[in-house]
Structure formats: structure tokens, C-alpha cells
Amino acid sequence: MARPEFDIVVIGGGAGGLVVAAGGASLGAKVALVEKHKMGGDCLWYGCVPSKTLSKSAAVAHAMRHADRWAIPPHAPAPRLAPVMERVAGVIRGIEPHDSPERFRSLGVDVTLGDGKFVAPDAFEVNGRRLTAKTFVVATGSRPATPPIPGLAEAGALTNETLFDLREDVPHLLVVGSGPIGSEMAQAFRRLGSEVTVVDVAPRILPREDADMADVVQRRLVAEGVRYHFEASIAKVEGRRGAVRATVKGKDGAERAVEATHVLVAAGRKANVEGLALDVAGVKVDQGRIVVDARLRTTNPRIYVVGDVAGGYQFTHLAEHHAGIVLRQAIFKLFWAKPSTVVPWCTYTDPELARVGPSEDEAKRQGLAHKVYRFAFDEIDRARAEGETEGFAKLVTDPSGKLLGAAIVGPHAGELIAEAVLAVTKGMKAGDLSSAIHAYPTLASINRRAADQRLKEGLTPTSKAWIKRIFGLQGA
């Protein structure tokens, strides 16, 4: 049998695929990468980077309006969307060279831009060229799922793939979906001056999170003027971009009209599995999902998947983690490599909501023996200094104090969760967080203060009486 031309062929040049390609090449593998559209993937062009850049401009406008909270005369800006979106484009342009074909070629990766498909279990063809490899990695990501609402397409509904191309102002945005993307964009557009109405079949925002935590975010969005229709769906949309009319149907069947200028669909994602001729490669796909084992291997043992197309949580950091797992197996043949189950995430609203491990609700539903410890930001001195006292941290431990999970809703929650991620990953106890010195005054001390609640819990009147007796203390 002829030796395959490459050690690794990567299909898809987004977060996961790029890490496989760069990592493989740096370790001495002969790597080819095929990208159908633009290197950098969703995260760079239509996801994390543009959404967080937009949210920052929106946060500045919001802070200006409410500067009196910090004893500064407020100013009501009237932001125009075009320059804000130009800033978004500028940030993307700044990052793009890092993910470009030129850079990857300079790393030794054989990059092809084109739309290819498997032509055999060990061969992928693109632009008339047949690429054979010991290992293939499918890293084709996901795309927005569009609900079958009559009139949606005709109304020029936006998705995350078209939203950041907008240059005209958006007087009234109708958002379909109140998950992380819908919530982040609802707040950003509201702060940039749009009226915003959100419709969701769920009874509240961020249904994956504990209700008490999501409620902190929801209350803030409502206070900022985002209007919600929960337990409701859109029956039809009429009109075109600029003047659209949605018929919103409540769970009681009552219909009401919502007039808006633009519609944004943020109602879930679909894995990109079409067009690759996966069946030719012997890769089983079930209900739009590639069948993978715990090691991210498909039903063809030489083909792995990483990132959103793997069908689990859809995050850039998880795609990158998958890449490392697959590289270990492809290069070092370490068959035991499988992804970590400790996956953090954050919804970047203001306040942010970040989590790792099971939530309190999940611990209950899974029947885990657990205890919960909370601490509020309004008792953290730094939060008071910053004027950001809404929210709290929640630790979920087993009865022995071992950390199972943590969630934080509040300022910079996405940064603060990192300590808990390490603690959960390493199987630490709440006491480990308590005993680590945290710089004062930091928001991060909320992790220690939440963990301290467990120590305090141990201080019952009986244990206090024993301490007093043993050590001869004289207090009350």
C-alpha cells in the first residue's frame, strides 16, 4: 500500500482546525489544511471576536449615559452603528493575519482554499487534488439553525453571519432566541440605542443556568429596556428589512403583532456535515451529527472530529482543547487521550454569567449528594469601589467539600471563574480556595469568600463551646 502523502489533513480552518494544523506542523508532522471559506472560522469572523467588540462599544455608551453612578456628569451619546461596526471590522482585521493562509504556509502547513469531499476512506479531494493522510480531522464547525417561520427569509432576517456586516442604524431589533448569543446581542443593540424585543419559547433567558443566576442578568436587561415575550413563538413575519411585522403567539394561543425594523435569529446551531461525502469515508452521521466515541474518533478510525461539529458544547476553548486531544492521538498514538469533562463557559452580558461543572439544578437533577455555598458581590469591597455590586458566586461541593462546580454572575465573571476551573479540574476542596491568599481588594476574593462559607458552617455552637473549653478562651 502506498504511503499516505500527509500525516494529518485538516478540513476546516477555524478555532479547532487551526490549532491541529499549527500544533501538528510544529511537532514535525506533514500537515495539509483545507478551508472552504475564510481561515479563522466563526469565532474570528462572525462569533466571539465581533460580538465582544460590539459589546464593548455598547458598554462604553452605557457607561457614558450612567456616568453619574461614578459621580461624573453623564452624557447621552447617540451612537451610529456604521462606525461601531467599522471598529468591529478593524479588530477582526487586526487578528486575521494570525489565522491567514500565509501565516500557516510559513509554519509549513499545505493550505488549500476550496470545497472538497472524501473520495475514499483515506482520501479527500479538493480543487482536483487528491490528499491522502494517516489521520484526517474534520473541523468544519457549525452554522446558525433557522427556524421554519414563514416570511423570515423574505424579511432579510439576520444571523450572526450577516449581523456584523450591517452599517445602517437599527431602530428596532427583534431577536429570536434568548440564549447566550441572543442575550449578548439584545443588550449590545439596546445600549447602542435600538429598541429591542426578544421572543423565546422558553420561560426565561439562559435556561441552561440556574434560575437565580439567570434572573440577575434578565433583570438587568429588562431594566435597560429590553422587552421579552417568553413562552411564545413567532407564527409569521411580514415585510422586509426596515419595516417588519412579526406575529407572536403566546402559549395560550393569543397572537399579538410586534413591529420592528430588523430580525436577528439566534435560535441554535447546526453542525456542518453536509457536502463532505462522509458516507464515502465510512463516517456515520446520525440526525445531522457525526457519530464519535469518547476519544473524538468517528466510525472510520483514521478520521477524528474537533470543535462544534463534534456535537457537544460549542465553544472556541473546547475546540482548541479537542485539537490537543486529537493531536496527541494522531502523533504520539496515546490511545487514552480523551477530552476533559470540566468545561467552563461564560455568557458575556453585563453582568457576565460564567460556570464550570454542574449547576445547583443539575446536581439536584443528577441526584448528586451536594452542598451549595453562596457569596454576594455587594459584600466584596472591590465590587463596591467599582460600583458593580449585583450578582453572586455559588460553589457546589460534595459533602466532603470537594468542588464539583461553580457559577458566578457579576462583574468579570468570565475571568473570575478561572480559579474554580483549576480547582474543579484538580479535584480541590473548598478549603483549598479558603487557604489561598487572594490579593486585596480584588473581585477574585469572592471565590475565597464563597469557600469560607463552608468553614463557617462548621462553626456550630457546640464546636465553638469545645474550642473555648480546650483553648481556655474567655469570649461570649
List of residues contacting ligand FAD (CB under 6 A): 11-17, 34-37, 41-43, 46-48, 51, 115, 139-141, 160, 181, 272, 275-276, 307-309, 314-317, 319, 348
Q: How far apart are CA 410 and CA 349, in angstroms?
A: 9
**Measured distance CA(392)–CA(210) in Å, rounded:** 12
- C-beta of 228 vs 315, nearer to ligand FAD: 315
CB distance 16 to 306 below 8 Å:
yes
* 8 A C-beta contact, residue 12 and residue 41: yes
For ligand FAD, the closer of residues 348 and 373 by Cβ is 348
Of the pair 160, 261, the CB lying nearest ligand FAD is at: 160
Compare residues 151 and 311 and give the one whose CB is closer to ligand FAD: 311
Q: Which is nearer to ligand FAD, 38 or 65 (CB)?
A: 38
User: Measured from the CB of residue 326, what is the shortest distance to ligand FAD in angstroms?
Assistant: 12
Side chain identity, residue 431:
G
122 is written with which cell numbers? 483515506
Nearer to ligand FAD, 317 or 438 (CB): 317
Which cell goes with 208?
441552561
Closest separation in Å from C-beta 432 to ligand FAD: 27
Q: Which one, 424 or 430, has the nearer CB to ligand FAD?
A: 424
CB nearer to ligand FAD: give 36 or 270: 36
With beta carbons less than 8 A apart as the criterion, state whether 319 and 14 touch.
Answer: yes
What's at 248, amino acid-wise? V
CB of 380 to ligand FAD, least distance (A): 25
Closest distance to ligand FAD from the beta carbon of 15 (Å): 4
Closest CB 112 distance from ligand FAD, rounded Å: 9
Q: Which is nearer to ligand FAD, 7 or 308 (CB)?
A: 308
Strands lying side by side in the sheet with 255-260:
232-240, 243-250, 255-260
CB 158, min distance to ligand FAD, A: 11
The whole-angstrom separation of Cα 184 and Cα 93 is 22
Q: Nearest approach, Cβ of 34 to ligand FAD (angstroms)?
A: 5
Shortest distance (Å) from residue 110 CB to ligand FAD: 14
Residue 197 or 347 with smaller CB distance to ligand FAD? 347
Reading the block at residue 125, the C-alpha cell is 479531494
Residue least distant from ligand FAD (Cβ):
14
- In angstroms, give the least distance from the CB of 62 to ligand FAD: 19
CB of 55 to ligand FAD, least distance (A): 10
